[in-house]
Chain A
Amino acid sequence: MSKLKLLLVLLPVLAAAPQFWAQSPSLAVELPPGPMKAKATTACAECHEARIIVQQRLSSAAWTKEVDKMVKWGAVVDAKDRDSLIEYFSANFGPEQPVYVPSRTSVDKRQK
C-alpha cells in the first residue's frame, strides 16, 4: 500500500484519536481541549513544551504547588485564572490517568 493510500484509509481513525497526534513526536505536543487550554498554553508552554506537563500524574494538591512554583519562576498567570488552571491540570493529569507513553527520536543514520 502506498503511503497516500494508507493515509486515506487511516485518516478517519486518526481523526478520531487525538491521542495519536499528542504522541507524534515531530509535532509540538498540545494541551487537551477545554476552556483553559489557550491560557494554559500561553502561560505554560513558553519556557518548556507541554510534554513536561502531560506526562505528570498529580493530585490537585501537587498541581497547586506546581502552578505556584512556576508562577514564582516567571509563568504569567492572572490571579483570577489560578484556580481554574489548577482544576484544568488536575482533571486532565490526575493520578488515575494512564501512564504517558513517550515517542522516540528518529534513527540517526550516521550512527549505524
Chain B
Amino acid sequence: MTTRRNFVGTASGAVFAGALASAIGFHPLLAWAGEKSLAIPGKDGMLVRSARFLDLEMPVEYAADWITPTHHFFVRNHMHEPSTLDPAGWKLSISGEVEKPYAISLTELSKLASHSVTNTLECAGNGRGLQNPKVPGVQWGKGAVGTGTFSGPQLRVLLERAGVKSAGKHVMFRGLDQVPGKVPPFIRSIPLEKAMDADTLVATHMNGAVLLKHHGFPARALVPGWIGAASCKWLTEIKVLDKEFEGNFMSPGYRMPNTAAKPGEAVKPENTHPVTALGVKSLITSPADGAALKGRAIAVHGMAWAGEADIARVEVSTDAGTTWKPARLGHDHAKYAWRQWTYAWQPQKPGAYVVLSRATDTQGRVQPDQPVWNPSGYLYNAIDQVKVHVEA
C-alpha cells in the first residue's frame, strides 16, 4: 500500500508516528503516554481539517488582535506542499503575451522595491460546514480567515518589465504544489486589471518574517480583497494570457451561480461566474458560542471585513434580530483589512441569549439572514451568531 510511503514523504513526524502506531497496533498507549496531538511546527492549537493535505483552521477565539499571528493563521492546501524548496535555485518566470519573457531569481526579486499590504485573507470555502444542504469540500467552520501584512514587489513592476502586449487580458499563476495522480494542477488566473493594481504583490514576507512554507515560501501571489485561492503559493510561473485560464480550478472550481440557486439545486456551468472578491462579513470572536457568562456588563468582540470594500457599520442584536444596536469600530484600519468591533452589552436579566452580528459595507452590501447557498459552498456570509447563557 502506498499510504505509508506517502506518509513518510509528506507528513510531519507526529503523523508518521501515528501511522506507525496504528500499523503495530497499540495506539491507546502511544496516544496517552506521548504525543497527544498533531504537531505542526510554527502552528499552534489549530483545528485540523486535514493533516494530509494540510488544511488548518483558526479557532475563532484566537482572532483577538487586528493582525493574526502567523502561528494562528489558517492554512489551505489543495494538494501536497512541495517536498523540497531550494531558494537558491528558485526562479520565477514571466511569459506569455509579453514583449520580453524573462525569469528572475530570489536574490534579484529581493532587490526590487518592497510594498506592504495588510490584507484579510479568507478561503472561498470558509463556513462551508455551516451550509445546508451539505456540499463536498473541506468542512470549514468560521476560521479559514486571518489578517496579515504581506510584503514584496508589486506584480505590476514585474509585468511592466516584461512589457504586456495588447492581447494580454489575464494573468495566470502556477506554483510548486505537488500534484498526485491525475489530479489537475493548481493553476488559476486573475484579470489583468487586478494584476496591475498597485496592491497586488509577489509577496516574500508575512508579518515581517520570511514566508513560512505553509504560506508559500519563497514567494506567493497576494491578490488583496479576493478569495485566498487567487493568491497562489510557491509561485514559479506567471503567464499573461489572452483569456481566462481554462482548467479545473477556474471551472468547475471556484464559480458561483449567476442567479441565486435554491438550496440543493444543480447549476449549469454556463450559468456561473468566477469567484473573485470577498463578500461583506462579520464574526463574533468573544464570547464563545455556548459560553456561560457572569455579570451585567459583557463586552462582545468581533471582526468585520468586506473584500475590496470598506466596512460602513456593524450592528449587534441580543434579542434574536428584533432590535439592532451599533457596535464601535476599532481604530486599526487598512484598505483590505478587517475592522475590529466591540459592543458593550448589558443584559437586563439572566437567561439564554442569541447574540447576532451584522456588517454593512460601503457598497451597501449587508450580511444576509440566510447564507447564499451554492453547490460548492463558497462565500458563506450569513449574519453571525453565538448562543450564550447569562447566569443569575
- Interface residues of chain A, those whose CB is within 8 Å of chain B, are 3, 6-7, 11, 14-15, 21, 24-28, 30, 41-42, 45-49, 51-52, 55-59, 62, 65-66, 72-75, 95, 99-100, 102-108, 111-112
Is B8 in contact with chain A by the CB < 8 A criterion?
no
Q: Mark B176-210, 1 if CB is under 8 A from A, else 0.
A: 00001111100000000000000000000000000
Min Cβ gap A48→B in Å is 6
Please name all residues of chain B whose beta carbon is closer than 8 Å to the beta carbon of A21 when the two chains form the complex.
27-28, 31
Complex: A106 Cα to B57 Cα, angstroms: 13
Please name all residues of chain A whose beta carbon is closer than 8 Å to the beta carbon of B71 when the two chains form the complex.
108, 111
- Identify which of A27, A75, A108 gathers the most chain B CB atoms within 10 Å of its CB: A27
Q: Are B182 and A105 in contact (CB under 8 A)?
A: no
Is B89 in contact with chain A by the CB < 8 A criterion?
no
Minimal Cβ-Cβ distance residue in A for B248: A73
A28, A55, A108: the one contacting B18 at CB < 8 Å is: A28
Complex: A7 Cα to B30 Cα, angstroms: 11
Complex: A15 Cα to B31 Cα, angstroms: 13
Q: Mark B10-45, 1 if CB is under 8 A from A, else 0.
A: 000011011101100001111111111111111111
Min Cβ gap B188→A in Å is 18
Q: Are B134 and A56 in contact (CB under 8 A)?
A: yes
B14, B29, B44: the one contacting A107 at CB < 8 Å is: B44
Interface size class of B (residues with CB under 8 A): 35 or more
B17, B33, B44, B52: the one contacting A49 at CB < 8 Å is: B52
If A3-B32, A105-B48 touch, does A47 touch B38 (CB 8 Å cutoff)?
no
- Interface residues of chain B, those whose CB is within 8 Å of chain A, are 1-3, 6-7, 14-15, 17-19, 21-22, 27-53, 56-57, 59, 69, 71, 79, 129, 133-136, 138-139, 180-184
9 closest A-B pairs (Cβ-Cβ)?
A74-B181, A47-B180, A57-B134, A27-B18, A74-B182, A106-B37, A25-B38, A111-B71, A108-B44
B31, B79, B136: the one contacting A62 at CB < 8 Å is: B136
Min Cβ gap B80→A in Å is 8
Minimal Cβ-Cβ distance residue in B for A95: B134
Please name all residues of chain A whose beta carbon is closer than 8 Å to the beta carbon of B30 when the two chains form the complex.
26-27
Please name all residues of chain B whose beta carbon is closer than 8 Å to the beta carbon of A56 when the two chains form the complex.
134, 136, 139
> Can you spell out 10 A-B residue pairs with CB atoms less than 8 angstroms apart?
A21-B31, A27-B21, A28-B15, A30-B22, A48-B53, A55-B49, A57-B134, A65-B136, A99-B129, A105-B43
Please name all residues of chain B whose beta carbon is closer than 8 Å to the beta carbon of A95 when the two chains form the complex.
133-134
Q: Are B182 and A106 in contact (CB under 8 A)?
A: no
Q: Are A105 and B40 in contact (CB under 8 A)?
A: yes
Q: Are A48 and B52 in contact (CB under 8 A)?
A: yes
Please name all residues of chain B whose beta carbon is closer than 8 Å to the beta carbon of A7 when the two chains form the complex.
28-29, 32-33
Min Cβ gap A58→B in Å is 6
Please name all residues of chain A whose beta carbon is closer than 8 Å to the beta carbon of B182 when the two chains form the complex.
72-74
Q: Are A105 and B44 in contact (CB under 8 A)?
A: yes
Complex: A60 Cα to B122 Cα, angstroms: 30
Given contacts A74-B180, A103-B37, 17 further A-B contacts (CB under 8 A): A24-B27, A25-B36, A25-B51, A27-B21, A28-B7, A49-B51, A52-B138, A55-B129, A55-B139, A57-B134, A73-B184, A102-B57, A103-B38, A103-B48, A105-B37, A106-B35, A111-B71
